[in-house]
A = this chain, B = another copy of it.
């Protein structure tokens, strides 16, 4: 242990540019000796953010060796797994190996945890990539990581397999925000509804709107749309391409009989779906952009361009109680749990 207390936000590890926080930094110090207010983690699995993983996968034409190389070179260069194209990271699971002497925490050495702060700011060292699960965005490694004093985490529960917990915790902010935003009787649109965060959001939205509300799922693939239908996670399912705003808008109006959404949740993993989200949301409605492929300027200018007075929220990955809420969905819904187990375990 280095006999010094670091900044709670981790600025002591920023190499450049100085004065920024670790997330904004181009390069951070990934020396695996902890300060007195850090935690050292023996990493098992990285759960790469979907936007980042997709970008790496596509740039490598799904070649695993190329993907490994890309991941290693990012971490070597930056000291963290922050995709330079998407800017995003992901999270990890591992075992607590050492706890700084100045930390007050409920953790003990040997605890299995998931970090709930992004890999885009987490000091990481990869000794070896053991396996890439290409359909689950997961990378098993031998390596270590550091958690800062303000870094949030969740102890992995005993009743849910770790890979499953990891998959769900990655997107825990989304259903938790749905729970905050969606009220009884509302019309709710979920774009990218058949994906991981989309399904959890549908579940939570169905719960919150009650019998007088309506949840409309928008999904690209027939296959994922079927999942949503079969599990009864929406009142209506529209199969369409969310990058085509006019098509989406027309389909939406058809399904709702001319009504626009009170709340729209965007969970896609591809760019240029801002306009679809804006067009299907009513004046004074709310759009929650969870998708990391969202462009700030496209959203801001897009809404102005059609004179739409909507509140557009940037999907903060964290909100109080989000880990518990999302894990509880797995406890409440056998069907979602089964589906996720098939995919992520």
Contact = CB atoms under 8 A, between A and B. Distances in A.
Interface string A16-32: 00011111100000000
Interface of A: 7, 9, 11, 19-24, 86-89, 116-118, 120-121, 150-152, 173, 243-247, 272, 274-275, 279, 289, 292, 294-320
B296 A294 contact: yes
Nearest to A11: B246
A316 B307 contact: no
A121 B306 CA distance: 10
Contacts of A89: 301
Nearest to A245: B21
Contacts of A243: 19-20
Nearest to A117: B305
B298 A24 contact: yes
Contacts of A303: 316-318
Given A23-B302, A24-B298, A301-B118, A318 B313 contact: no
A304 B148 CA distance: 13
Nearest to A87: B297
A215 B22 CA distance: 29
B306 A245 contact: no
A311 B176 CA distance: 13
Contacts of A22: 305
A88 B297 contact: yes
Contacts of A20: 243-246, 272, 275
Rank and list the top 3 A-B pairs by shortest CB-CB distance, nearest first.
A304-B317, A87-B297, A312-B314
